[in-house]
Amino acid sequence: MKILVIGSGGREHALLWKLAQSPRVTQLLCAPGNAGTALLATNHPVASNDLPGLLALAKSEQVDLTLVGPDDPLAAGIVDLFQKEGLRVFGPVAAAARLESSKSFAKGFMLRHGIPTAGSATFSDPEAALVHCRASAYPLVVKADGLALGKGVVIAQSLAEAEAAIHEIMIEKVFGDAGNTVVIEEFLTGPECSLHALIDGENYLLFPDAKDHKRALEGDQGLNTGGMGTISPSREVDLEMRRRLKVEVLEPFVKGLVADGLTFRGMLFPGLMMSPEGPKVLEFNCRFGDPETQSLMRRLKSDLLDLIDATIDGKLAAAKPVWDARAAVCIVLASGGYPGPIEKGKVISGIEEASSDPDVVVFHAGTALKDGHVVTSGGRVLGVTALGSTLEEARAKAYSAADKIIFEGKQLRRDIGV
């Protein structure tokens, strides 16, 4: 089987790494990919939001299956387009991907179907939003409705900060049309955790849980990033909590899909806050998480392609994947300055030395090949993953490997999984 993976991050490298182990895979392609995906797949220089270009690539290469990594092409309807052209593709159609691309749509869905989430109000009129802010307690959370590269959430500590956020999002339109509407939420406290569940329309298959570390700096300080490192399992989910998450989040989710006439086939990744009153959904993502996927793929023992096929064909009820009982840790190595402006083109050394431990795999994110060297080409550069019989062992292996990799400006958090 010939498979195309769309995207260029650590998530896509990890998915390709896992797919490459399938005896049914004959050829892998990636668009646009990075220096790591080039080791497993043929990279094609087509951007992940160039839908006509991707369709032309899938057709000319006679691809059997396309896997979509990032959120933008899903929201733009890549799955609808490929399906219309008779191509096999993994991911939700745009109407279902709205659960990620519109926070107000997701809120409405959660309210209709009894899925626990923060109390909220939605506004398309900035004046009405400001009136609401004046009558609210603080902190208060202001969210741009649409996709905003993970930057559309402001935790306002005071009315002045909430007013500034509404001004930026709704009037200055710093996120464009993503800020036409805002969702204003009550502030929740508690540890966060990432769930991943394949959804085949009517059934779900829950993966092991994971935990991301979103802030740039140690101690959860600094700006929000795409994610600076993950562990799986997290410390937040024991067997009883896993049962509750199935009953309180996933069962109402699939029932809600059917009730609303939404077809969702793909990966659902709810971001959760384990609040003192119980788990609450902060957001739905309709794709694999990054860097969560880097840790999860290290733990999946079964064939990923079988799970993807079962999802597309509505056969998840019979799927019984096997997971490695060991813990996985992923440490992100980022460019200096990330998540702000960064310099690209720094030569990276030490990846082979870091990978000499059989329990370590280094996934590429923002890397490129230049004059025979692997160089930096993005904010998040590499994801160093390790398995260990305990979380502490996996951490020690991952950090020891991460320390062998050198590039100018290298930035990492030392407290992933602490």
Q: Which residues bind ligand AMP (CB under 6 A)?
A: 118, 141, 143, 153, 155, 185, 187-188, 192, 214, 271, 282-283
Give the orientation angle of helix 10-19 with respect to helix 292-299, to 10 degrees: 20
Among the listed residues 118, 290, 361, 397, the single contact to ligand GLY using CB under 6 A: 290
- Selection from ligand GLY, ligand AMP, none that 187 binds (CB < 5 to 8 A by kind) is ligand AMP
Measure the CA–CA gap between 142 and 165, rounded to whole angstroms: 7
- For residue 189, give every residue at least 6 positions away whose Cβ sits within 8 Å of its Cβ, in sequence order, or none: 273, 275, 276
Q: Which is nearer to ligand AMP, 13 or 280 (CB)?
A: 280
CB 202, min distance to ligand GLY, A = 25
- Which C-beta is closer to ligand AMP: that of 4 or that of 249? 249
What token pair was written down for 164? 């500034």
* 3-state percent helix, strand, coil for the chain, nearest multiple of 5: 35, 30, 40
Residues 286-300 as b or e (16 or more Cβ within 10 Å = b):
bbbbbbbbbbbbbbb
Instruction: Closer to ligand AMP by CB, 235 or 255: give it.
Output: 235
Q: Looking at beta carbons only, is 50 or 292 nearer to ligand GLY?
A: 292
Stretch that binds ligand GLY, among 166-174, 200-208, 255-263, 283-291 (CB under 6 A): 283-291
DSSP result, 290-313: TTHHHHHHHHB-S-HHHHHHHHHT
Complex with ligand GLY: residue 285 or 335, whichever CB lies closer: 285
Number of chain positions touching ligand GLY (CB under 6 A): 6
Instruction: Choose which of 8, 104, 234, 285 interacts with ligand GLY (CB under 6 A).
Output: 285
71 vs 283 by CB, closer to ligand AMP: 283
Closest distance between ligand AMP and the C-beta of residue 52, in Å? Answer: 29
Q: Least distance to ligand GLY from the beta carbon of 271, Å? A: 7
Task: Label residue 86 exposed, middle or buried (CB < 10 Å: 0-12, 13-18, 19+).
Answer: exposed
294 binds ligand GLY (CB under 6 A): no
CB of 180 to ligand AMP, least distance (A): 17
Q: How far is the CB of 9 from ligand GLY (least distance, A)?
A: 9
* Adjacent-strand bridge partners of 5: 30, 67
**Helix (H/G/I), strand (E/B), else coil: 84:** helix
Cα-flanking dihedrals φ and ψ of residue 60, to 5°?
A: -70, -30
- Subset of 224-263 contacting ligand GLY (CB under 6 A): 227
**According to CB under 6 A, which residues from 180 to 219 bind ligand GLY?**
212
Chain CA centroid to CA 132, Å: 31
Given the structure tokens 């005071």, which residue do they identify?
Answer: 158
Query: In sequence order, which residues have a C-beta less than 8 Å from that of residue 187 and are 6 or more positions away?
Result: 118, 138, 139, 140, 141, 155
**C-beta of 149: minimal distance to ligand GLY in Å?**
10
| Contact stretch for ligand GLY (CB under 6 A) within 14-22, 29-37, 196-204, 284-292 | 284-292
Strand order in the sheet with 153-156: 120-123, 182-186, 140-144, 153-156
Q: Binding residue for ligand GLY (CB under 6 A) from 34, 292, 351, 366?
A: 292
Distance CA 261, CA 24 (A): 34
Residue 128 and residue 355: Cα distance in Å, rounded?
55
Task: Look at residue 227 and give the partner it binds from ligand GLY, ligand AMP, none, a contact being a CB closer than 5 to 8 Å depending on partner kind.
Answer: ligand GLY
Residue 194 bridge partners (DSSP): 210, 271
72 is an interface residue for ligand GLY by CB under 6 A? no
Question: Which of 110/296 has CB closer to ligand GLY?
Answer: 296
Answer with the entry of ligand GLY, ligand AMP, none that 283 interacts with (C-beta below 5 to 8 A by kind). Answer: ligand AMP
Which residues lie near ligand GLY (CB under 6 A)?
A: 212, 227, 285, 289-290, 292
